[in-house]
Structure 1
Amino acid sequence: MADIADVSNDNILQELDRRLFARQLARPGRIVDECEECGDSIPLGRVEALKKSECVRCFDCQQIHELKEARRL
């Protein structure tokens, strides 16, 4: 059974892996660790899926942003 220190250590290592992977992605867009809109962590899967463009918002905030942009047009 894992104690609180093991769980905390696992979380820190997972976050470190995510940040190191994000830095290694060579692409023209920028990458941020947290959503610019809500401040939540952006899942690694989303960062990987957007290799050719910037990733500055979580999925939900990006949808809202795109809806607002569509209404302006």
Structure 2
Amino acid sequence: MLILVNSLFSSDYQYEEERDTPEYENYQCDGREYCSQMTSCEEATYFINNCPNTKMDGDHDGVPCERQWCKGL
């Protein structure tokens, strides 16, 4: 869906694409690297997929924190 945005500083209109709310909108890369710093499997998954230098997937299978948060995945 496209929405029309009126700029406050000019009479020009800009079109911006309206995006669905991201699944992980509550997370942001903040330097945390370890499972012990996470609070859920969802949070660990966000970090491993989006943040640099994470150390949460020892067996490199794409599933983080299998012992603490993402058991059985």
State the TM-score bracket (shorter-chain normalisation).
Answer: under 0.3
- TM-score norm. by structure 1 comes to 0.23
Larger Rg: 2
Select the structure with the greater relative contact order (CA < 8 A; seq sep ≥ 6): 1
Q: Which structure's residues are more often helix, by fraction?
A: 1
Q: Which structure's residues are more often strand, by fraction?
A: 2
